[in-house]
Chain A
Amino acid sequence: MDIKVLGTGCSSCQTLERRVREAVEQTGSDASVEKIEDMQQIMQYNVMSMPALVVNDEVQVVGQTPSVNELADLLGA
């Protein structure tokens, strides 16, 4: 599984990245987590608010920071 966290330096973007990493650890999956901060790259995904979560090139979360458990559900499915 290929996970990308889209976001710049703002606090909720950092929160999302931290929770995603925790959730991946919890589910014990071998997913790769990558943080994308470059605006041009971010805009390729057509998201209008930050932070966003992209799983296998599909936008799953926009402008929200779900809890670790919710993320674990999302990533486990």
Chain B
Amino acid sequence: MLESFADWLVFGLAGLPSEAHWGDAVHFFVYETMKIGLLLVLVTHLMGLINAYLPVQRVREWIASGRLRGSEHLVASGFGAVTPFCSCSSIPLFIGFLQGGIPLGVTLSFLITSPLVNEVALALFIGLFGWQVTLIYAASGILLGTVLGWALGKFRLGRFVEDWVWDIAEGRAEQAESTQKSLWERLPSVSREAMGIVTDIAPYVLAGLAIGAGIHGYVPTGFFEQYLSGGNPLAVPLSVVLAVPMYANASGILPVVQALVAKGVPLGTAIAFMMAVVGLSLPEAMMLKKAMQTRLLATFFGAVGVSIIGLGYLFNLVL
């Protein structure tokens, strides 16, 4: 329905020629902007509502209780997926988890998935790549956090966490739980936060869509296959390294990546790139540096980076 509306708007109302490159590009931009705008509003509201009712304190106690019998990593990772991610919350949550008596490995599971699977990335993935790719992205992100946190937990990394963190963690004080309000009382504030997120990232998304539209209209199909096809073994690690400094514009990059995929960049390389953009961000590293010693931080980011590269190769093989 949106597509035919965009058809009518661009080719009918504005009278742009559908066979021209720029007519195609404008149509892409208009259609994608409407679709992604709607999805962003929907998904941020949904996640906002989930979070308004998510009892952080109880989830923390539940994970710490030891009743999960080995699935703590999966639960922590899944919890990371539904919480909104802001790099400024990473340390408070990191410490909050350790404070609740949750082992470091389980805390790392949470820390890995939290930026990887977030509401904005999900909305953009649904809009640009469809449900199936979104599910693959989310599931592999959660799996990555689960497995890596478990593996890192096998090493005694606790000694590389700064002492002041343990000092506070031993205090084990209770956190004030937010007051219970009804859905109707909460909706306005949830909605305001959600729209705040959408307006914050809107310029980046629009810029990304404009660049993506240009690529769609002007770059010939299959153009990148000669440079970035599965045949080039360095494409995946190279795109992961390139992704690290791009965190600030994460939401603007995905539309460009989608356009590149349409012109022949393999999907696995693109997914690895996106995971690296959000999962290996410099702002987060700067924040975590205050709580982790360099060795732990390097191990943590190194392990995440290598795993993302591995996933990229795997997806290129099977997708």
Give A residues with C-beta under 8 Å from B: 7-13, 15, 39-40, 42-44, 46-51, 59, 62-67, 70
Contact = CB atoms under 8 A, between A and B. Distances in A.
A15 B168 CA distance: 28
Contacts of A8: 88, 287
Contacts of A63: 89
Given A15-B196, A46-B99, A67-B189, 11 more contacts: A9-B88, A42-B92, A43-B91, A46-B176, A47-B175, A49-B56, A50-B89, A50-B92, A62-B176, A64-B193, A65-B192
A71 to B, nearest CB: 12
Interface of B: 56, 83, 86-89, 91-93, 95-96, 99, 164, 168, 171, 173-176, 178, 189, 192-193, 196, 200, 287, 290-291
A15 B193 CA distance: 11
B251 to A, nearest CB: 13
- Chain B contact residues, majority secondary structure: helix
Contacts of A47: 92, 175
A64 B189 contact: yes
B176 A59 contact: yes
Nearest to B162: A40
Nearest to A7: B88
Closest 3 CB pairs of A and B: A48-B96, A10-B88, A8-B88
A49 B79 CA distance: 14
B110 to A, nearest CB: 11
9 contacts: A12-B86, A12-B196, A46-B173, A46-B175, A48-B89, A49-B89, A64-B193, A67-B189, A67-B192
Contacts of A50: 86, 88-89, 92
B200 A11 contact: yes
Contacts of A13: 88
Nearest to B97: A48
A17 B192 CA distance: 17
Max count, chain A CB within 10 A of own CB: residue among B83, B174, B176, B196: B176
Contacts of A48: 56, 89, 92-93, 96, 175
Nearest to B93: A48
